[in-house]
Structure 1
Amino acid sequence: MKTLERTRKSLTNTVTMSSSSAIATVTTTVFEVGKHTTVLQKVESRTTCCTAKASPPLPVPPPKPLLIVMPCEAGEFPLLVFVHGYLLYNSFYSQLLQHIASHGFIVIAPQLYLVAGQDSSDEIKSVAATTNWLSEGLHHLLPPYVKPNLSKLGLAGHSRGGKTAFALALEKAATTLKFSALIGVDPVDGMDKGKQTPPPVLTYVPHSFDLDMATMVIGSGLGELKKNPLFPPCAPEGVNHKDFFKECKGPASYFVVKDYGHLDMLDDDTEGIRGKATYCLCKNGKSREPMRKFIGGVVVAFMKAYLGGDSSDLMAIKGGQTGPVELQTVEYVL
């Protein structure tokens, strides 16, 4: 709470400065790879670990398969739980998660399902179970010199995973650990207003989200446009980033990236039928790298601000240092 209030005051002072103030002179390197070398580790869940080839078996296996991305160097690092989008694999976000981890974070990305219906209740419970597992099981999977700081914990999700992240933050399932920062990456709450998937998250009441944490919503400028007449838009109006941000209380940040689409933060090479479909179903930008770098960078800046008390990079982005992309919307609620 002290970090949240300190960062809120810092950003409040920044907002009230004149346009010729120090913001303009601040630059940020968060859009580039950080100083840490990273490693990706795939971990089987408690339902499959007994048949896994690796031995010995894990003392406390996770409730869902995980992709863990961490710095290789010694240190104590904040954590980010990242929730994948609808019918996507957590591995499709490997480049994005490596970017975040390279700046000094441990990222935990559960694979929630392979096939799913409209109801996301089980996904919310699974993310809660994964979060609860962290305190008893995570240290068994990390090198002894890599220490997780469970008191500095962020939660993020993309698309339907963004909805799931908000639902968990709104306590639609219980967790033993407390989140301090919440990020929705082009979150989607269904097909249209009035066609929300259960359980609905949006209430359409401004600033109604009762969240004791900082929030950030990132939107894609092309997400609400159709790729072709055969498919609906991937982030339809009425249930997308605009609506999520309207319900956030301060401190809340909002960035909409111009000329990039709903899936443009995924890896360049997404394999298999699902991977190929990510290039066909949604309207895309010219390439994925710029969007991926921006999202990785702004997530790092946000986490540094609200988990580490260093708001300089987030201030720089709000002041116009947007790296490889152009933004069509920047808003902030104190």
Structure 2
Amino acid sequence: MAVTFSPSSSTATNIFDVGKYTVELVSVEPHKCTSQPPPKPLLIATPSEGGVFPIFLFLHGYLFYNSFYSQLIQHIASHGFIVVAPQLYSVAGADATEEIKCTAQITNWLPEGLHNFLPSHIHPNTEKIALGGHSRGGKVAFGLALGKIATTNDLKFSALIGVDPVDGMDKGKQTPPPVLTYIPQSFDLGMAVMVLGSGLGEVKRNPLFPPCAPEGVNHRDFYHECRGPACYFVAKDYGHVDMLDDETGGVRGKATYCLCKNGKGRAPMRAFVGGAVVAFLRAYLEGDFASLAAIRDRHDEIAPVQLQTVAFLEN
């Protein structure tokens, strides 16, 4: 299945708006593939215009569907990136070990398999690849990058992104394998890192449910363990799931509206996350730091959300 996502020509150069590329969204089901099927189902957002494009491997949050991020990954792809979003599981327990292993398998599949599911004039650049994830997907991304589980990785990641990453229920209640060590700048990643956080993620929606991104295991703790180069942005008045699609259907989709403390709407946070990811990928996959510098220096003017934290670590 493929659908198109057309750009707005008047905002093609603004990272927080849709980029200049028309986007094709491709759904890949392994059981329907005749050759070189991926290890897991995939949702791929790719530019439709011909060229060679870097890859961003993006992992979904706990018990979410990759389709919940379709608007976000299309935003990123419209700026000239191929976004690969696997569905790592349908049902999962607390242990993320298998998700880390599956992500390694998907990474190793990319060089020989990805091009089979792209238009013939689209060429993935497997020498420029970034890894990222939201919520538990962020934990999985960090877990793979840090080698928390023994895996064989044929490709080298150039950048790592955690979108409101969460390592468990609380400090001392991390889910296996634990990622955080609570030792400042202890992450030996060998690549640039960006951590995005939500100001409302650590706030309970109501007394019956815990916060979706609890203190002690959230974005703040991940960033404190990063070494430079690293950057860190926290959106003040938005919640843990406010970067998802405007409409997320089914029981799990409806749960995203009632389990977490949310902001006034999803579009501003989604635009910010998409734009920040684009800026970071441009910087560390393409060597163009202008957009990332603009967020640092002019975020009050250009960002669609108010940022309560803007921090950078140099090498």
Which TM-score band applies after superposition, normalised by the shorter structure? Answer: over 0.9
* Secondary structure of the structure 2 residue equivalent to 1:73: coil
Larger radius of gyration: 1
TM-score of the superposition, structure 1-length normalised? 0.88
Q: Residue 73 in 1 paired to residue 49 in 2?
A: yes
1:237 corresponds in structure 2 to 215
Q: Structure 1: how far apart are the matches of 2:40 and 2:177?
A: 21
Greater RCO structure (CA 8 Å; 6+ sep): 1
1:21 corresponds in structure 2 to none
2:298 to 294, 297, 320: 320
* Secondary structure of the structure 1 residue equivalent to 2:44: strand
What is the Cα-based RMSD across aligned positions, in Å?
0.8
1:301 to 275, 279, 283: 279
Q: CA deviation at 1:98?
A: 0.2
Unpaired runs of 5+ residues, structure 1, are 1-27
Unpaired runs of 5+ residues, structure 2, are 1-12
1:41 corresponds in structure 2 to 26
Q: How many residues align?
A: 298
Q: CA deviation at 1:212?
A: 0.8
Q: Structure 2: how far apart are the matches of 1:281 and 1:221?
A: 16
Q: Structure 2: how far apart are the matches of 1:38 and 1:143?
A: 11
Q: Structure 2: how far apart are the matches of 1:70 and 1:181?
A: 19
Q: Percent identity at matched positions?
A: 68
1:112 to 88, 91, 101: 88
1:31 corresponds in structure 2 to 16
- C-alpha distance after superposition, 1:106-152 (max 9, x if no partner): 00000001110000000000011000000111111111100000000
Q: CA deviation at 1:320?
A: 2.3
Alpha carbons 1:36, 1:104 under 8 Å: kept:
yes
Q: Structure 1: how far apart are the matches of 2:40 and 2:169?
A: 27
- Amino acid paired to 1:146: I
2:311 corresponds in structure 1 to 331
Deviates more, 1:94-103 or 1:133-142: 133-142
1:261 corresponds in structure 2 to 239
* Secondary structure of the structure 2 residue equivalent to 1:217: strand
Which 4+ stretches in 1 moved above 6 angstroms? none
* Secondary structure of the structure 2 residue equivalent to 1:319: helix
1:5 corresponds in structure 2 to none
* Secondary structure of the structure 2 residue equivalent to 1:40: strand
1:207 corresponds in structure 2 to 185
* Secondary structure of the structure 2 residue equivalent to 1:182: strand
* Secondary structure of the structure 1 residue equivalent to 2:98: helix
Q: Structure 2: how far apart are the matches of 1:139 and 1:29?
A: 29
Q: Structure 2: how far apart are the matches of 1:205 and 1:214?
A: 19
